[in-house]
Each structure stands twice: as C-alpha cells, then as structure tokens.
Chains A and B, each alone.
Chain A
Amino acid sequence: MSDTLLVSTRKGLFWVARKHGCWEIERADFLGDNVSLTLTDLRSGRHFAALDHGHFGVKLHRSTAKGWEEIAAPTYPPKPDDLEENDMWGRPLAWSTARIWALQAGGADESGVIWCGTLPGGLFRSTNHGESWEMVRSLWDHPKRKQWMGGGADLPGIHSISVDPRNSKRIWIAVSTGGIWFTEDAGASWTQRGEGMRAEHVPPELTHDPIAQDVHCLAQCPAAPQRMWVQHHNGIFVSSDEGKTFTEITGVEPSTFGFPVVVHPRDPDTAWFVPEIKDEKRIPRDGRLVVTRTRDGGKSFDVLTKGLPQSHAYDVVYRHALAIDATGDRFAFGSTTGGLWVSEDQGDSWTNVTHTLPPIYAVRFS
C-alpha cells in the first residue's frame, strides 16, 4: 500500500504523503517549472521526472541519494536532408522531442529498461535506467506512422505503454491519434490492434479504421492482461483478447467522454473513469465532479460523488492524473484547477487534499 503521491503540475512537482491518517503536501521540487510526468521504478526505487522548460526544451531528471540529477532526455535521430515530411498542418515535422508523454518501467526481468513515449510520436527505450535512450526505429519508420495525427495536441503522441507482466517483450502502446500498436519482439516489429473501436471525428469510411482511433488512455489489468480498458475520444471500450477486438460500452451516465481510465490490479472487471460532458464541452456535467466505476466489466456503473464538489466544479482530469495503487484500494486524482482528491475505499468516498495547486498534469503513487 503506497503512502506517497507524486503530483506533477504546471509549476512544480509536489510530494504528498499520508501521515497519521491524513494526506498532506510534504515537499515541492522544481518549483516554478513545468513538470509533465513522473515515474517511480519499483525495481530500482528511482524516481524520474519529465520537465518542459518551454524555451529550453524537454528535460529528464532522476532521483539520487543526494537529490535530483539531470539525465539525457530522449533525442530524435538526425532527419535526413532530403526527407520531406510535414505534419498534419503542412508544416515541416520537427524530429525533436516536443513532450514526454509516457514513462513506463520494463518488465521485472529486465532491470534498467525504461520505455518513453513522446510527441511527435517517437518511442524510446533505455536499458540503463535512463542514462541513455535509443529510438525504436521500427515504429518510427513504420509507413503507417505517418498517418498518425494530432489529437489534444498539434502533434501525435504516445501516451500509454503497457508491458505484458507474463512476457516483457510483449508491449502495447496507444497513440493520440493513431490507435493501439503491439509488439511481441520487444519492439523489433509492430502490428496495429484495436478492431471494434469507433471514431466519430472522421469521415464514415474511416470510422472503424483502427489507426483513426483517438485513444485517450489505455489500461491493462496486471492480473488478467487479456483485459484492456480504453477511454476514447468518443466513448469507453473494453477488450478481452489483449486489444485485438474491442466492444463499446454505452449508456453510461453522466457521460462516456473523459481522459483517464484505471483498472483494478487483480479484478479485470473493475475500472474507474472521470467523465466530462463531451469533447466540445470539457467540463463536468452540471458542475458536479464525479468518478464512475464499473465492477461488472461495463454492464453497470456507479457514480461516485461522496467528498467531491457537487456545485460549480469545472475540474478537468487529464489522462495521467488518475492513479491507483498496487493494492487497488487507494486512489488519487488531480485536476486542471489544482484540486487533489484521495480515496482509500476504491472511490466510495474521497478526501480533498488541496484545491490550490497549479494545474495538475499527472498523479502517481510512489
């Protein structure tokens, strides 16, 4: 059971700790700087923090016994002079890390391996705890990669990386927008996954094309890896065959639009979402902040409100800002308006830790 949260915000990294039964902010690092994401590598005990300094670019820091140290950030390979590659806006595509959008430890049997997903779509792998990074060229050079498009950002990006707990060479990634991609040889080759998803934002002939899907977040059940949950741009989808095919979950109140999804570590039928009204109205319905939870694989949902603001709340919860700990009992989420809530009973009730943080990008249990 984890007693520590790492909260990445627009203006720093906040450590939130449980002491005497209460959660409180214990420390702030990188105060004033834009921290986009963290990773705690349970194999080594190291923490990683991705920063975006704007003018000065994307940086990566790693914890040491003496504090943080800057390490290499993933760097794109030289773009060939004769290559003309434009983004979806017709501008030359910069082969340069625009954002670190996913950090994932490799399998238990491959100490030092860390995966990193970025905008504009590069996947990187480190084999030495982030000391250096190598781009996964098989994915970047895949001809279909050029069909990826911007979703929430102008450029496409890899935001979800899932390593099969049974076999570390089997990895799923999800792209906004570009659907789900799968490798079973540690990234040497890739195939598209995700039949059955449906995109409302594209012409009819592309609606069911797996590459057209704007997956907002992909969550895989550690104890039952065949089960995957997707929070998609226009709905919730669930797979029972490792992401080969998905079924849409409909009729969920107050909405099936949102960004994050987490699944219980041992119960593949139990998953949590934080709904907004819809894509063109990204606020909670009626100003009521709620979490939705299914315990039966999506047949029914509980709308969880206890401890959450139910009047004039306009909190948006980003895809990395809902966290579940390894026990499946403790939850935390943070919002764009600086609210942070914790639950110790699977979401039945919530406690507000603070509502005065900077905009929250990511929440992770340490």
Chain B
Amino acid sequence: MAKVSFTPNIQRHVACPETEAAGGSVREVLNNLFARNPRARAYVLDDQAALRKHMTIFVDGQTIRDRVRLSDPVTASSTIHVFQALSGG
C-alpha cells in the first residue's frame, strides 16, 4: 500500500496522520483514505472532487499532472505527499 502524508498546516483543522492506503491511482488511494477520514475530503478536494486550487500532490517526488481526475499512477511502494502550494496564501 502507498504511504500518504499531509501538510502539517492541515492538522489544526482536521487530523490527517501519516497513513497507508491501497490503490493504483491517486484517486483510488485518496478515496480509500477519505473513506476512513471523511472530513478531510473537502479540505483537499473541491466540490467537483478535483484537487483544490492551491493544493498540490507529489507521488514519489513528482507533482501530479492530472489535478482533475487524479489519474496519476501509484504503486504499492509509492510515497504520496499532500501539500499546500506556496501560492494562495
């Protein structure tokens, strides 16, 4: 399962501890993760389930390319970071 960690800044609004979740794409991993932590969903994704404008996700050090469908591939050994972009502050 992929390892997922979140920006520290989200923690004071909703607890998002480092965790592991299964899935072959960013979407699948996040869906599985948010099923266990439903409040976190709206902090990361917008009303259309796309990545929020000023959020960014790295998979194994690479920024994801598909911010709308979150189709970027993930492997069982991947590390995912859900971060804030520096913009939008």
Residues of chain B lying within 8 A (CB to CB) of residue A57: 42-43, 46, 52
Distance (whole angstroms) from the CB of A13 to the closest CB of chain B: 15
Compute how far the CA of A70 lies from the CA of B42 in the bound complex, rounded to whole angstroms: 12
- Let me know if A73 and B46 touch, CB within 8 A: no
A54 adjacent to B42 (CB under 8 Å): no
The count of A-to-B residue pairs whose CB atoms sit within 8 angstroms is: 42
Is B61 located at the chain interface by the 8 A CB criterion? no
Proximity string of chain A (51-90) to chain B, C-beta cutoff 8 Å, 1 when within and 0 when not: 0011111010000000000100101101100000000000
Chain A residues, CB < 8 A from B88: 54-55
Partner of A55, one of B42, B47, B48, B85: B85
Q: How distant is the Cα of A108 from the Cα of B89 in the complex, in angstroms? A: 40
Quick check: is A168 within 8 A (CB to CB) of the other chain?
A: no
B52 A55 Cβ-Cβ under 8 A:
yes
Interface size class of B (residues with CB under 8 A): 10 to 19
From B47, B54, B85, contact of A76 by CB (8 A):
B47
Is residue A188 within 8 Å, beta carbon to beta carbon, of the partner chain?
no
Residues in chain B near residue A95, CB distance under 8 A: 47-48
List B contacts of A78 (CB < 8 A).
48
List residues of chain A with CB within 8 A of the CB of B43: 53, 56-57
CB contacts (< 8 Å) of B10 on chain A: these are 56
Q: Report the Cα distance A95→B49, complex, angstroms.
A: 11
Closest to B87 in A: A55
* A139 and B43 alpha carbons, distance in the complex (Å): 27
Is A22's beta carbon under 8 Å from chain B? no
- Given A70-B39, A73-B42: A56 in contact with B47 (beta carbons within 8 A): no
Contact code string A88-101 (vs B, CB < 8 Å = 1, else 0): 00000011110000
For B52, the chain A residues whose CB sits under 8 A away are: 55-57
A75 touches B54 (CB 8 A): no
Closest 5 CB pairs of A and B: A96-B47, A76-B47, A56-B43, A96-B46, A55-B54
Known A55-B84, A55-B89, A97-B47; further 10 A-B contacts with Cβ < 8 A: A53-B13, A54-B88, A55-B55, A56-B44, A56-B52, A75-B47, A79-B48, A94-B47, A95-B47, A96-B48
